Each structure stands twice: as structure tokens, then as C-alpha cells.
Amino acid sequence: MSTTSRAATISFKKTDIANGICMVKKWISDAEKHLRASLYPVPHETNEMDWKLALSENRERLTEHLIAFANNTNGGYLVFGISGSGELAGVNQEQVAQITSQLSNIGRDTIEPPVALDHAVVNFHEIPLLFVFIPEQSYKPVHRKGKGIEEAWIRSGGTTRKASRHEIATLMLRSKSSTWEAMRTSSLLSAQEVIDSLDIPAIGRLLEKRLPENISDIMDWLSSQNLVVQEGGGFYITNLGGIVAAKDLGQFAGLSRKRVRIIRYRGTSKIETVREDVEKKGYAVGFEGLIAYLKSILPSSEVIGQALRQTVSVYPEVALRELIANALVHQDFTITGAGPLIEIYDDRITFVSPGTLLPGKQVDRLIGTDPVSRNEMLADKFRRYRICEERGSGFPKVVSSVEFHGLPPVAFNASGTAFQVTLYAPKSFSEMSQTDRIEASYQHATLQFLSGKTLTNSTLRERFKVSDRYRSQMTNLIAEAVSAGRIKRKEGSRSSKFAEYIPHWA
């Protein structure tokens, strides 16, 4: 199924009537009205419609037409099968396939924001014409991809021309602020096509809720959840709907690159790839399957519990869940061509999320800070689906589970284009570098402080799973962590033997 352009018919089946689904799209009747108005009494093109006898080879000009109609109030139409003088020539099946394919590619690849088109073949005076509908975009000015907003076009006097600075300013005033989640990712679909594209039963299970059985009630519920937008006789799936509940994200051009990639390397470098997989399902409906798959390919060890031998991952499951959810929810979806990435090495696992930290956030202060989400609607869905809590408890849970299992400290890294978190495989205290020991001390002090406690020699020994004979080594480590500016002695704490320490920022 194409997600950027979809054929429509102006007739509908009896079964569709019985189901209460009207397959006739409102825009088709509007387009026919505009066509009649442009042909009679004297043929003339309007701001809402442009005739074409066939597909032009001038790709640049086609891009300009699509941009202009996307900036136009209520959008506009390209009609193929009409000569420049207004004579009806018609189209054939081969032309329809070629035209819709090329225009869909242009709308997706050369325009910002991408424009999802719809089309229909209509018998007008017994002659088949191809109508292509370019909906008005909420975010304006629509312009050439990779260029500034000055590369915008408008319709004026029935022609397409470049917008002036004043007209660009006017378009910006007409622009509706819209989050990425609220934008549309599909063409106009029927109710059944929406149901075929989204895993609605899985959403019901996540909510522990019995969903409506009537197709009309289901669509109303999906609309109330911001997963679809109803328009005329059809529905658009939103980015939120697709990214949360898609049966296959690859069906949606704008979401295909947002699928989770999992790469397993041999050794500790990227030189040799063992396997690479891509999760195709929406984030929420595919979350448990992703966790199960990840656990199946991660290094594991055998433990004996209650007289039974069990195989468990070397990484705490709670940490895996929280870090995957964090990478999915907080990524910057406006970065094109990149999606969440999980890289597995023999000694570590790294979670990479497109986009750097939000303003005001610091790598040093991620543990326990107030939650701020780049994608509030998606974060709310994950909370309601009980995947994460959206209370700022994610990183504390991760670090706490790492401490419980005696693993090296969690590594946070923010670059200009991505944020990544790394978990390391088990290491004993003697195997850890001094840098790791100091960072682990800081993270331990932070967890203690958030719990109303302090770091002491005793708590640090417990964190590293070492015995009392390491007391002097812990004392030396604490001194180095203080010198490094990672922790500080709490005011009024007792003698050195029983000294208490807190994070440097406390």
C-alpha cells in the first residue's frame, strides 16, 4: 500500500454501505465543481486547479506546482488528461501509474514539510481524467527541501509563481503551529484501510481496555486518541498513530527510517557485523517483542535460583526497558534519515537516539532531574500504555539496577546530532579503570542524595560489591572523586572515618 498517494473510486459497494462507510471522498466532488467552473463558459485555469495533458519532464516545475497548492488555502488540484485549451483527452492506466508514482516521490523527497497526495480517476463527461489532490499544509511556508523558506511558491491569477518576501510573511502568519506527532503520515484512507494498517487490538491490550466493536465507534475512538484525523469521507493516520501502532512502519514513507535498528558486532569494535535487524512494528505495539528479541541475542549467564538453573541476561532488564523507551520517546523526529539504534558489542550495549539534549539539560545532571519531553503526546501514550512512567524516574532506575548488579557506571554522551547511553558488561572492582570508579562514585552519590542519604565508605563498598578489606581503597577513591570535582564532603559531617559525601552540585 502506498502511503503518499492512493487511488480512489467514485462508486462504492453495497457492503461498504452496510458497514456505514462512505468511500466517496469529499474532495472529489469539490474538484469536479472547480473543474466545471474552470471549463465554462470560457476555459481558464484557476488558483485552485491546473490542467495537464500529460506528465511534464520538468521535475523542478512539478515541485513548484505542488508547493504552490500546498501553500494555497484549501489546497488545490492537478488534473491530467486536459489540453492547455481545455479539451478533454483522457488518461490510460499506464499514465495514471506513472504520474502518481512520480508526484508521490516529489511530494515526499523534494518538499519541506513533505506533502502527502491523494488521487482519483473520475469519468468526466465519459472521459477518464486523473485528479491529484494536494491538501493545504498546516505548517507554512511549504518550500523546497534543503533550502530556505525563500524557496516557496504560491498560486496567483491561475499560475504558479515564486512568493515574494511579503507573501512569505503572510504564509507564516497563516501557519498553524503543529507538533510532529499531530502531522499526517498517510494519504486519505478508508476506515478499513486504517484498521488494516494499525494494530488496534494490541493498543486495547496495552490499555487493558475493551475497545468498541462497531467500525464507526472504533474510528471515533482513534480520532479521540489523536491516532487518526477524520476529513470528509476518509481518515489520515497521524505520525503519532503510525509510530505508536503501525503493523509495519515501512508502509509509511515518513516513518520508515524511524524503525529501530539492532546491530550485533563481533568483539568490541564495529569492524565486523554479526547481524543487523530492523523492528518493523510501531513502538508501543512492538515494545515487548523488541525486548524479548534483544534478550535473546544478548550475552547471558546461568544462575541457580530456588534449585533451578536459569539463563539471564548480563544486563538488568529494567535498565534495558528504560533505556529503549527513553531512546524512542525523546528522539528528535525532525532529523530525517535517522532513527533509534541499538548497538551490541561483546563488552557493552549502546542506545543511540537522534537529537541532542533539550535546552537546559546537562549530561551531568540527567539522573533525577524533572522530566521534559520533546514529544509530549508520545510520552503520554507510553505512560498510559504502562511502558514508562514519565516522572523522571527512568535514569535513576537504570543506575540503581546497574549498582544492584555491580556493573560499571552508565555512560551518557551527547553529540551535536545524537544522544547515547551505554551499559557495560560486568566487571569486578579491580577490572574497572579509575575513571570508571570515580564516575560510579558520583552516580552513587547522586542516587543516595535523591533518597535523602549520603555516600559513605560503607555504602560505596556495598555499591562495588567488595568486602571490608577494601576500606582503605574506598577512602582513596573518595579522595580522588573529591579532587576531580565529582563529589564533595557534606557540611557538618563527622570525622574522616565516618565522613558523608554528596554530589558536587548538591
Q: pLDDT tens digits for 225-258?
A: 999 998 767 899 999 999 999 999 999 988 999 9
For the segment 47-106, what is each residue's pLDDT rounded down to a tens digit?
999 999 999 889 999 999 999 999 999 999 999 999 989 999 999 999 999 999 999 999
Q: What is the pLDDT of residue 495?
A: 67
**pTM score:** 0.68
For the segment 357-390, what is each residue's pLDDT rounded down to a tens digit?
877 788 888 898 877 778 999 999 999 999 976 5
pLDDT category of residue 310 using cuts at 50, 70 and 90: low
For the segment 131-150, what is each residue's pLDDT rounded down to a tens digit?
999 999 888 899 998 887 88
Q: What average pLDDT does this structure show over 460-489?
A: 96
Find out whether 131 and 25 touch, Cβ atoms under 8 Å: no
The highest-level CATH class for domain 14-178 is alpha beta
Query: For the chain, where do the domains classified as CATH 3.30.565.60 start and end?
Result: 259-424
HSE-up (13 A, CA, CB side) for residue 61: 9
* Fold designation for 431-503: Arc Repressor Mutant, subunit A (1.10.10)
Q: What is the pLDDT of residue 255?
A: 95
What would the 3-class secondary structure string for 92-133 be?
A: CHHHHHHHHHHHHHHHHHCEECCCCCEEEEEEECCEEEEEEE
Q: Which helix (H) or strand (E) holds 310?
A: strand 308-313
* 485 vs 364, residue with greater confidence: 485
Cβ neighbors of 304 (< 8 A, separation 6 or more) are: 310
% residues pLDDT > 70 (the chain): 91
In this model, does residue 22 exceed pLDDT 80?
Answer: no
Q: What is the pLDDT of residue 390?
A: 52
Phi first, then psi, for residue 19 (nearest 5°) are: -80, -5
* 14 vs 146, residue with greater confidence: 146
C-alpha cell at 56: 511534464
Q: What average pLDDT does this structure show over 496-500?
A: 82
What average pLDDT does the structure give for the chain?
88
Question: Comparing C-alpha atoms, which of 242, 258, 111 is closest to residue 181?
Answer: 242
HSE-up (13 A, CA, CB side) for residue 378: 30
Tell me yes or no: is domain 259-424 CATH 3.40.50.720: no
Cβ neighbors of 390 (< 8 A, separation 6 or more) are: 371, 373, 379, 380, 382, 383
Query: For the chain, where do the domains classified as CATH 3.30.950 start and end?
Result: 14-178
Cα separation, 222 vs 207, whole angstroms: 13
